[in-house]
Structure 1
Amino acid sequence: MIAATALTASVSVLALPAAPAVADSGECTFGGKEYKGRPWALQRVNLDELWASATGKGVRVAVIDTGVDTQNPQLKDAVEVSAGANFLPPKDDKGEKIADRGNAHGTTDTVGHGTRVAGIIAARKDEENTGFVGLAPEAKIIPIKQNDAEGHGDSNDLAKAIDHAVQQRADVINISQDTEKALADDSALAVAVKKALDKKIVVVASAGNDGLGGNQKATYPASYDGVLAVAASDRNNERAVFSQSGDTVGVAAPGVDMISTVPKGGHCSDNGTSFSAPYVAGVAALLKQHHKDWTAAQIVAQIEQTAERSIPGHDNRVGWGVVDPVKAVTEIADPKNPIESPRPDRADTNVEPPDLAAVHFGETADERNSRLATYAAVGAVVIVVALAGAAVAVRDARRRRTRVGRGA
């Protein structure tokens, strides 16, 4: 039983301020530049192999956030406007009008947070203009506006938003926001989450960004039983410095320098577990396409079982590992008898944990030491070249650290 001191709690969106990777000015401009290349978080996935199995067609993903702007060309056909809703209150606690409330369908987003989240899940292909695309490019987004940059949304509003997603028969719900205030099992939020899970709806939530120094704390709804809590990983498949750890973390997913769609058009980069969660929600949508009868626990189990592990068993930093979209969708032992338990370390299941996956998308410490030793052994001319290359690497590393650390 979760001890509680209040029936409601403020809920915060979980992005970290970051300099965009697409604008030289350092500002994210809505309706601005398009990202021409393929973002690193998609480069780690064989998209042709992934989409040969599923594209998310016929699957509906509710994005409970700051709204989803439909003016971005990659989202125009992805958003199911008629199913959307707006649960942001018209006035704040002081009785003042909330300027960012927007329309009744949840398709206005002055923050850009929800639009980014939706793009990572289901942005349509636009190969002539950008290499960015959603992991489930034929899924439908149900836009549900429930919060804003000032945090006017609370846990009761979030519960109402979840109930709306259930009523609209969503297959997956993405919640890239949280509260640190513990709420009782009979609170509106806890009841709404359980209702969604009972309807076989997969609920994916961000683990939180207050993880500097290995900080561990429970956040909700991520910490509720049955919810897939997602931490953030970096290019090396390691915990991003800001990502919160804990025994409730299910898996990790890319959450650093995440390119996605922004209001009015174009793309920007951002950091946070806010953008790790939709990466996993997209994978859940792909699984739901062919396994609609699976329970939420079975979908979660498949994602956890196929994640790329660095240690045997559960790791509080990255859960069961970094999500592997292709393995999750293609490596299903027996579709008629899916995995029942999302916790393969428990004694009440015969499920064996998967083998360790030694996957690196960056330079390890040993590789770096070996490289530097090689440079030291070559002639003066090569040393000069090497030093110049090292200077560029250091500069880029500093830029990345600056972007990740700001606001964490």
Structure 2
Amino acid sequence: MRRGHRPLRAGTALVLVGLATFTGAHAASADGARCTFPAEPIEERPWSLQRVLLDQLWQETRGAGVSVAVIDSGVDTANPQLAGAVAADRGADFTEGEGDSTTDTVGHGTKVAGIIAARSHEDTGFVGLAPESTIVPIRQTDSQAGGTIGTLAQAIEHAVEQDVDVINISQDTDAPPAGDSALRTAVAEAVNADIVVIASVGNDGADGRRRETYPASYDGVLAVGASDRNNERAPFSQSGDFVGIAAPGVDMVSTVPGGGQCVDSGTSFAAPYVAGVAALLRAAHPEWSAQQVVTHLQQTAERATPGPDPHTGWGVVDPVRALTDDDTEPAEAPVPDEPAPAPPAPEVAALDLGETHAERSERLGTFVVLTAAVLTAAVAGAALILRDRRRQ
């Protein structure tokens, strides 16, 4: 839920949609839990990865050769799982804080990057979905100064210049930028450059109101909502007709600065889950356009209805199906599922209606007549026998 992160720069503010407040080396999650980093490693495989058969997911690629720009609070490379995953020389810092693109005083960007590209480590069951992809770190906000529309636009422009394959933006604002804003222009440039642009939809959905957030609402951006363990919309996830897909965003384990992992919730962490799958698809199908990748993600998502809805879009991303159900080249836009064929009509057995009331009356009448005749004959016979005996 977006609260407590007041920007210090001029311009429309954007919010890191997985965070609440920051104090030194601490960060609060959307559900109020606090994480102190460095953190202890979490040994168990997180639920968001337990639902995926990783060996099947990675049978063709682990994302090698694909670069993903993480526009966020920086990506810390002191965490062993990210040490070899970050191309710092391609990064940039658009804040006025100390350090550079690999300095993350908030921890948010390091979590986002880990969900995408964290390398496996013997101390933990957590690993990124595309563990051989490369993160391009772009620091656009920090604990001292919030990002703005202007700095986000600059960050996207830098990602385009670095020729990345995927851009992840886990920030949002619900204040519509001007029609000719730099942000709209930068997003359009990224889309035109055939980059898969992914953005979180925001965490203000608990009030039930549908609203558009930016940059997720811009044309060509895949807007990602958060789902829970039951593949249903997380209560905080923003709803609206612009929602394109959903992904796990509750109790998400990921890397933190200095080492170890923490648990967090928010659409901030659903977006990189989709970005990781997109990175795998770009590695497996370099001939596919960015729009075809987006369409394939949506078409292969797991959904309860034939088409999209305002809560989870085209459904919850299915990483394994997306990577294995790719026999045909995807269309430019997803289409609703075909309705299930009607089952064949059951064979109806012949119905025995039994006798009618008239037939029953006739049968009983006949029975009575025959019985009377038999009794009469019997009486007559008995009388004849008795008479003959008397004559003797």
How would you bin the TM-score normalised by the shorter chain?
0.7 to 0.9
With the length of structure 2 as denominator, give the TM-score of the two structures.
0.79
CA distance in 2, matches of 1:20, 1:148: 12
Task: Measure how far apart 1:27 and its partner are.
Answer: 4.3
Partner of 1:63: 70
Q: Is the 8 A contact 1:13 1:149 kept in 2?
A: no
Q: Which moved more, 1:62-71 or 1:180-189?
A: 180-189
Partner of 1:318: 312
- The answer as to 2:193 corresponding to 1:186 is no
What's the secondary structure of 2:35's corresponding residue? coil
Taking a change above 3 Å as real, the CA distance of residues 213 and 252 of structure 1, as seen in their structure-2 partners, is: same
Partner of 1:13: 16
Q: Is the 8 A contact 1:256 1:271 kept in 2?
A: yes
Question: Which of 111, 118, 123 is residue 123 of structure 1 equivalent to?
Answer: 118
Q: Is the 8 A contact 1:226 1:296 kept in 2?
A: no
Q: Is the 8 A contact 1:12 1:178 kept in 2?
A: yes
Gaps of 5+ in 2: 1-9, 341-392
CA distance in 1, matches of 2:125, 2:47: 10
Question: Which of 33, 38, 41 is residue 31 of structure 1 equivalent to?
Answer: 38
Question: Which of 51, 54, 71 is residue 61 of structure 2 equivalent to?
Answer: 54
Q: Is the 8 A contact 2:27 2:106 kept in 1?
A: no
- The answer as to 2:139 corresponding to 1:145 is yes
Aligned 1:342-353 pairs, distance under 5 A: 343-345=334-336, 352=337
CA distance in 1, matches of 2:339, 2:60: 21
Partner of 1:98: none
- The structure with the largest alpha-carbon Rg is 2
- What CA deviation, in whole Å up to 9, does each residue of 1:81-107 have, x standing for no partner? 10010011x2xxxxxxxxxx2323x00
- Residues matched between the structures, number: 323
Taking a change above 3 Å as real, the CA distance of residues 354 and 306 of structure 1, as seen in their structure-2 partners, is: farther
Question: Which of 243, 255, 258 is residue 261 of structure 1 equivalent to?
Answer: 255
CA distance in 1, matches of 2:66, 2:324: 18
With the length of structure 1 as denominator, give the TM-score of the two structures.
0.76
Taking a change above 3 Å as real, the CA distance of residues 17 and 8 of structure 1, as seen in their structure-2 partners, is: closer
Gaps of 5+ in 1: 1-6, 91-100, 346-351, 356-408
- What CA deviation, in whole Å up to 9, does each residue of 1:163-220 have, x standing for no partner? 0001111000000001111123421111111111111100000011000032211100
Task: Measure how far apart 1:16 and its partner are.
Answer: 4.3
Aligned 1:156-167 pairs, distance under 5 A: 156-167=150-161
Q: Which has the higher contact order (CA 8 A, sep 6+)?
A: 1
Aligned AA (1:60): S
CA distance in 1, matches of 2:338, 2:302: 11
Taking a change above 3 Å as real, the CA distance of residues 38 and 190 of structure 1, as seen in their structure-2 partners, is: same
What's the secondary structure of 1:289's corresponding residue? helix
CA distance in 1, matches of 2:91, 2:110: 14
Percent of paired sites with the same residue: 59
CA distance in 1, matches of 2:16, 2:183: 16
| Segments ≥4 residues shifted beyond 3 Å | 16-21, 352-355
